[in-house]
Structure 1
């Protein structure tokens, strides 16, 4: 009884076979079919090889959400060189809450404003990268992926020692500011606290020494990540006038970066530049200096590096193999049918050989009657019958 049930089960499974086996004696192989098979296998191998590289690659996924963290401090990273002596300039931050941020984290270092040949080459390379970033926005994804692997954007040290004393000031370091709109500025004189804000001791500085030509080697918000290039990195402004105001209007977007290399809370920003000469007689009022007015966006961007799952890679491989196999089979059958129709219509190739063979066979089957009079031919027909 068990054997009968087993045989029935095997018979049922055999009937459900979706891949019937055809005896080799029923299969006819052709040169065209072999050629199409080789081409199909080559396409399969090439596409599978390329698909493997797609599987190895990663991409960045951008998600947007509301930033609900308003109480924490925001780190401001600064590295700016101004073409004035350090005792003549002062840098500080004043936000909309009328809070003056202490600038104790900033370092004033006397340097030379003109770059050495190696530094100039580095600066030109950075400007070229910035130009490509404005045209190819997808390059930012590469910087996110290779964070901590790339070199920092800070200017390399000088390889020479100039004889002249330094006449510029490098202001670098970091400050912790409130998450509200504010103004970071560098102007004449050191800042002093004031009940209604703050003031700068500009009266002690001679007007002829004003020169706010500057170079921004680095300016970022949040965690400082080596290899990430910000929009203002490498910016250089040279002014021929003493009374010159440079303004940068910055919009900050909080960004949570989560890649296979790093997890950090950083901030991207966009910037709009404006500059003008201060001339009170012409109606252009203001204070000479460098002003960076920033505002923080309420939306936060979450950037996550993603990878293709293994099951999706296998499904895509099956689709490539099955699709090419089926498509080449249909194309081969269609082309073969068209060739058969054309050859049959014009009686060329194997069809002409078949026609000649048929005529010869018909001629061999015909009965040749002997020559003679009518009675002899009639007698011969009777004998033949």
Structure 2
């Protein structure tokens, strides 16, 4: 017997193209359209999930864009640096009767002449400025009351309520002669040593007396000419931070006694603010206020406004903390995927549980009873329809030929 070999193809499989090779790794298999079943309830659930996902994505983006503030503490090692003092105060006394200067415990005196601007003003505000000041005062008081509960507001408040946001625009009324110049607006920036000191507004002009004494001389001025009612528009230490609310911003004190003394005890805390691409060294402070009437029979008791300050040996570092961009993307993916998976699972449970219950023995009995009730109800309805239709069929004329 002769055996012949037929022509057959190569036993090796043909070489696949790169696209076919990639398709072999596809784990996201596609179903034919004929195998898909879309329902109106599924479409409604999908729209709801997309809407909720959009809201959550917007919330995540806002949280990522707005960084968190992290507070850390360490010993302040820069004890030999200088402190910058920024002040803007309006006193209800004429500029020629008062002066502002500083004196630290090291014996160094810093006079305001040439370092601060004395500007004639009216202490009584016009209606527009009074409304603006009261709004700013309300916001500052609210922040001072709640800053222990929400410390980030001290650094994230809008600058329209903070640094130098109140501008005294009463010059137009002054020029027209509607109001007298009965007050003095003092604005200045000073650099002092990082030791305890005293900044004060007192009657007269300051002089260094013998033995290192520091005195103020106010000749030919009556006691009735002094009024130390004042409005602190701004008081800060260090570089000015636009989004910070200071404890003495928008503070107003009214005096009805020319011998009244206002004392502010200030504890200064060095603060370093670290942003994403820069850092800023500044200061925070806390205050204690004590007012009393000066006793004229004591040499060290004179009316005025005193700011006694001292530095704290700890440094507070405020750092902006923002999560990594990769972490942000992972959170978004987990949010959307988890939401779709959870809603899909809930929908599947809602659709499957009734079917399982109906296929059980009690479910079949309930289904049979329900079908009987339904048939009886539909049978009664059909019977009523027939009863109503029967008289209509008998309305033929008996004498009719048909």
Q: What secondary structure does 1:180 align onto? A: coil
The aligned length equals: 348
Q: 2: distance between equivalents of 1:244 and 1:309? A: 57
2:52 to 43, 46, 53: 43
Q: Is the 8 A contact 1:248 1:272 kept in 2?
A: yes
1:265 matches 2:265 = no
* Range 290-299 or range 256-265, more displaced: 256-265
The correspondence for 2:191, drawn from 152, 164, 176, is: 176
The answer to whether the aligner puts 1:338 opposite 2:353 as a matched pair is: yes
Q: Distance in 2 between matches of 1:48 and 1:191?
A: 63
In structure 1, stretches of 5+ residues that fail to align are: 8-12, 357-385
Distance in 2 separating the partners of 1:328 and 1:271: 55
The TM-score with structure 1 as length reference comes to 0.75
* Deviations 1:263-314, CA, capped at 9 Å, x for gaps: 5332221212121223479x9x833211111111222233344444321221
**Match of 1:155?**
167
Question: How many Å apart are 1:343 and its aligned residue?
Answer: 3.1
1:96-245 to 2 correspondences below 5 Å: 96-104=105-113, 105-137=115-147, 138-143=152-157, 152-158=164-170, 159-161=172-174, 162-163=177-178, 165-194=180-209, 195-202=211-218, 204-226=220-242, 228-245=244-261
CA contact (8 A) 1:123 1:155 kept: no
1:148-207 alpha-carbon deviations (Å, 9 max, x no partner): 998732423213123564222222212111111111111222211132331122565322
Partner of 2:173: helix, strand, or coil? coil
Structure 1 residue 244: deviation in Å? 0.5
* Pairs within 5 Å for 1:7-46: 32-46=41-55
Residue equivalent to 2:85: 76
Relative to structure 1, is the Cα distance of residues 163 and 45 closer, same or farther in structure 2, using a 3 angstrom cutoff? closer
Q: 1:244 & 1:16 partners in 2: Cα distance?
A: 87
- The offset of 1:211, in angstroms, is 1.7
Normalization by structure 2: what TM-score?
Answer: 0.73
Alignment partner of 1:160: what SS?
helix
SS of the equivalent of 1:153 reads coil
Matched residues in 2 for 1:76 and 1:286: separation? 25
Aligned partners of 2:242, 2:25: CA distance in 1, in Å? 62
Q: Is the 8 A contact 1:152 1:227 kept in 2?
A: no
Distance 1:205 1:220, change over 3 A: same
**SS at 1:92 equivalent:** strand
1:166–1:280 CA distance, 2 compared to 1 (3 A)? closer
CA distance in 2 between partners of 1:200 and 1:213 (Å): 19
| Conserved? CA contact 2:271–2:283, under 8 Å | yes
Larger mean CA deviation between 210-219 and 198-207 belongs to 198-207
